[in-house]
Amino acid sequence: MKHLLLTIILCLNCISIQAQVDFFYQSKSAGDFAVYTGKKHETASHLKIKGPFNQADFKRLTEICKANKKIKTIDIKGITNITQIPDKAFEDCVNLKEIMLPQQISSIGDYAFSYCTSLKKIAWGDHIKEIGEYAFFKCESLRDITIKNALTTIKRNAFDGCSRLTNLTLPPTTTNILDECFKACVCLKSITCHSKQAPICSLSAFQGCDVISCVLYVPQESIQEYEEKPIWATFDRTYPIPEEKSFGHVITPINQEKVSLNIKSPNSIKNCDADLQKVNHLIIRGMVTKQDLKDLGDRLRTDWKQIKTIELNHNTGTSSIPDNSFANCDNLNSIHISKKIKHLGDSCFHRCKNLTRVSLPFTVEQIGDHCFSYCDNLATIELPYRLKGIGAKAFYGCKGLKTLTIPQSVETIKEQTFFHCENLIKILFPKKLKKIERASFMGCYALDSIFIPDSITNLEESTFEDCLSMRSIKFSRNTIKIGNKCFLGCKSLTSITFPDKVEQIGDWAFKGCLSLKRIQLSAQLNTISEMAFSQCNNLRSIELHCTNPPQIYSNSFDAITKSNCTVIVPNDGYSLYLLSDQWWTFSNIKQREE
């Protein structure tokens, strides 16, 4: 019985082998295959050929492949003498799934495998130097390409339309990648290029590829060179080629409480099993992704709560800190940001209540919305000179912040950016600042003075509302409008001189400025809106430079003692003020002494 079973198994294996190779030819000398006239190949799907070959032999092989559209596997690694796959050799072999090439092949001809739409696997030789034009055009099933040795040039459109190509590995010898080589390779996720010198690459080589999500792996020492080349610089993520057995992370103790975590492969922080229970200072190096930073934040909120200081010193990987990454990391005290970082995402340090120190590199260009909101103990932060944008509510509720200089490259301060920074004493604006949005400094109780640059024309609603300690304002010479509630409740203001171009003072603009004694209004002023100077109880002098009385409302100066307030007007407008609606209610209107 055992012998019978063994015999059946052997027979089945023979049948399987026969099914795998149903056409085999052993050439004895070059030219033999060229005169082959057999019929067996006509129904074959698996070809295997060995022995000496010449161009005439290969021409015959091409004829067979063209005639039989059912061919799935071609094994020609055993043929000799041939050094080139001819032009159009296997074109339109639509059922071909796998081919094994001879070791001595040095070039693949134009259109050699074009429209081999089922081709999935190629066993490359070790001496291929050149891949011809359109060689693998529309090979839609090809997923992985790994060429290990001699390749120097990939000609134009060689892999154009390989829509499922996912991974590409090129040897150190690669020097030229020509026009539209990998055009429309829409699934390309990783390129590993072993060349230390970035290959010359056409700007259209990766046309239609997703260079934002595709990871480029290059030699560690060549990262900067690749990032400086036009086409390679378009790849958003450039990492060093991982060494074998180096995936994961390496922990290097510096002292009992300080360690360095060197990331060797993407997304490995989540599964880091190192014992960091006694560590309070963690340095992150190596290859860091956005997911790593999110995972780092998660661990700081859960099992790494004792860590108080983070240094991001990664030199490859993400250039931004994702939204919410470190939000609510209550124990985080200090963070140093890598020079790789350009963008801080929305709410990325939101409610880090014990954060006192943030070191931002000069590379940071954007701070997101709510980025440092409610960081109660953040006392100082030096904003980098390249900074272009500060998001809305970025420092909302930072009660410990005391001084700040806005870089010259910032053009807009967004809505409620410094809302309720209660201890902010001093802020310096850039000379070319174009806009300060509503409530930007509302509730900055300690702010004692401001100097608004001449590039500002309008002050928005509630911009400096409840700045209780503000004693002086130097307006922009080009200010046209003071918005509603702009200085509401600024009870330490004693004197205000408005620039010549101010046309309108909004509702409640200076209401409750209890210490205000003197105001000097502009020659262009046409409207003082409702409640604008209401409850300015100590107002004693109003000096106007406009001949025609500006419009005021019955409550514009509500709750002040008008009999104790002198209104000084131009000589040629004196009678107009006496007869004007509302201004006549001031009992002490005087002409300006010339």
State the pLDDT at residue 10.
42
Residue 243 confidence (pLDDT): 52
CA-based torsion, 358, 364, 370, 371: positive or negative: negative
State the Cα–Cα distance between residues 394 and 368, nearest whole angstrom.
7
**pLDDT number for residue 245:** 37
Under 8 Å between Cβ of 124 and 147: yes
CB-side neighbour CA atoms (13 Å) of 80: 8
Residue 491's domain comprises 451-594
- The predicted pLDDT at position 315 comes to 79
Residues ≥6 apart with Cβ < 8 Å to 367: 344, 383, 387, 389, 390, 391, 394
**How much is the pLDDT for 246?**
38
Per-residue pLDDT reduced to its tens digit, 107-117: 999 999 999 99
Amino acid 125: pLDDT: 82
pLDDT tens for residues 195-239? 999 999 999 999 999 988 888 989 888 888 998 888 998 888 888
Instruction: Establish if 425 belongs to a structural domain.
Output: no
- CB–CB of 84/134 below 8 Å? no
**Over 70: is that where the pLDDT of 295 sits?**
yes
- Does 553 have pLDDT greater than 60? yes
Percent of the chain surpassing pLDDT 90: 73
pLDDT band per the 50, 70, 90 thresholds, residue 42: confident
pLDDT for the residue 248: 60
- Give the count of domains, the chain: 1
Which residues are CB-neighbours of 9 under 8 A, at least 6 positions away?
Answer: none
Predicted pLDDT at 466: 97
Residue 511 falls within a domain, yes or no?
A: yes
* Domain-located, residue 479: yes
Work out the average pLDDT over 266-283. 83
591: CB partners within 8 A, 6+ apart: 568, 569, 570, 571, 574
Which pLDDT score is estimated for 516?
A: 96
Residues 139-175 pLDDT 10s = 999 998 988 778 999 999 999 999 999 999 999 999 9
Burial (CB < 10 A; 0-12, 13-18, 19+), residue 304, is: buried
Model-level pTM?
0.60
Q: Are 334 and 312 in contact (CB under 8 A)?
A: no
In tens, the pLDDT along 305-343 reads: 999 999 998 878 899 999 999 999 999 999 999 999 999
pLDDT at 251: 72
Predicted confidence (pLDDT) at residue 18 exceeds the cutoff of 60: no
Per-residue pLDDT of 67-104, as tens digits, reads 888 899 999 999 998 999 999 999 999 999 999 999 89
Q: Please tell me the distance from the alpha carbon of residue 210 to that of residue 185, in angstroms, as a whole number.
A: 8
The residue count of the chain comes to 594
What is the pLDDT at residue 479? Answer: 96
Quick one: DSSP state of residue 39? S
Does some domain include residue 133?
A: no
Contacts 24+ apart (CB under 8 A), 140-143: 140/164, 141/97, 141/117, 143/167
Which pLDDT score is estimated for 321?
96
506 in Cβ contact with 529 (< 8 Å): yes
Residue 533 has pLDDT above 50, yes or no: yes
Nearest to 106 by CA among 84, 122, 89, 91: 84
- Comparing 16-20, 168-172, 584-588, the range with the smallest average pLDDT is 16-20
pLDDT tens per residue across span 396-411: 999 999 999 999 999 9
Residue 2, in any domain of the structure: no
Distance CA 452, CA 459 (A): 10
**How much is the mean pLDDT over the chain?**
90
pLDDT at 242 over 80: no
pLDDT per residue as tens digits for the range 43-69: 888 999 999 999 999 999 999 988 888
Query: 19 pLDDT band (50/70/90 cuts)?
Result: very low
CATH number at residue 547: 3.80.10.10
Which residues are within 8 A (CB) of 155 and not within 5 positions of it... i.e. 6 or more apart?
A: 110, 130, 131, 132, 133, 135, 178, 181
Q: In the numeric block, which tokens belong to residue 182? A: 């990998």
| Phi, psi for residue 527 in degrees, rounded to 5 | -145, 130
Does residue 594 lie in a domain region? Answer: yes
CA distances from 466 to 44, 420, 493 (A): 88, 9, 11
Helices first, then strands: H and E counts in the chain: 5, 44
In a domain, 589, yes or no: yes
Instruction: Give the CA count within 13 Å in the CB-facing half-sphere of 45.
Output: 9
Band (pLDDT 50/70/90 cuts) for residue 21 is low
For the CA atoms of the chain, what is the radius of gyration?
Answer: 38
**Structural domain contains residue 427:** no
Task: State the Cα torsion 172-173-176-182 to the nearest 10°.
Answer: -50
Percent of the chain residues past pLDDT 70, beyond the cut:
94
Structural contact between residues 381 and 361, judged by C-beta atoms closer than 8 angstroms: no
Distances, alpha carbon 542 to alpha carbons 339, 514, 555, 581, 585, in Å: 54, 15, 16, 17, 13
pLDDT of 1 > 60? The answer is no
Q: Nearest CA to 448 among 467, 430, 474?
A: 467
